[in-house]
Amino acid sequence: MAQKIDPKCLKAIIHQGRALQNLQRFDEAIKSFQRVQSIDKKQTKLVEGYVKEAKRLQEIHEKEKQTVLLESSGDVTTMKIKEIISKLRKEEISYACLSDILDELKNLIDKDIHKTIFRTNGGFRMLAENPAIKRLLKKDKCHSDTESKVLVRILNLLSKVCLETGMFSFLDNG
């Protein structure tokens, strides 16, 4: 409606781009954002931010589509990652076993697509829901080498899934 009244209303064009982005129509969203820049050259930095975000979301969307194909094809690594996440979400496991399982999971995640599989299959939720991990994270300090080892495995897994993908690249900015 705002664009009908004023076709050069920057706010309306940006909202249109965001709506298209939410509908996963990324190319159209990018064109909408770039239209802002053609109307007002002073908005270059703003437009670059919106375009960068749209491209990032488009990449995530494409990876998620690839995971569906891998899951439906019965890919062995994909199935193993899903199985481990499911097991850890449901079962009470000793710290010694948990340490080994977390290490196995980290080693299975050797490609970007596996990181997406971890994320889309509740890997982060599993870390929050596993009873042994919850207990360990609530402690003020570790009381054994095994508990320390589990914490290190959790951090190694998170590092592999998040930091190596640039998911938290904002941390590099100091």
Question: In angstroms, what is the C-alpha Rg of the chain?
Answer: 21
Q: What is the pLDDT of residues 62-116, one digit of tens each?
A: 888 887 777 788 889 999 999 999 999 888 889 999 999 999 999 999 888 899 9
How confident is the model at residue 171, as a pLDDT?
Answer: 45
How confident is the model at residue 135, as a pLDDT?
Answer: 87
Hey, what are 82's tokens? 């899903």
Q: What is the pLDDT of residues 8-25, one digit of tens each?
A: 888 999 999 999 999 999
- Mean pLDDT in the chain? 86
More confident position, 160 or 169: 160
Q: Which among 150, 153, 141 has a CA at the least distance from the CA of 106?
A: 153
174: three-class secondary structure by DSSP: coil
Q: Domains in the chain, ordered, with CATH?
A: 2-71 (1.25.40), 75-173 (no CATH)
Q: For the whole model, what pTM was predicted?
A: 0.68
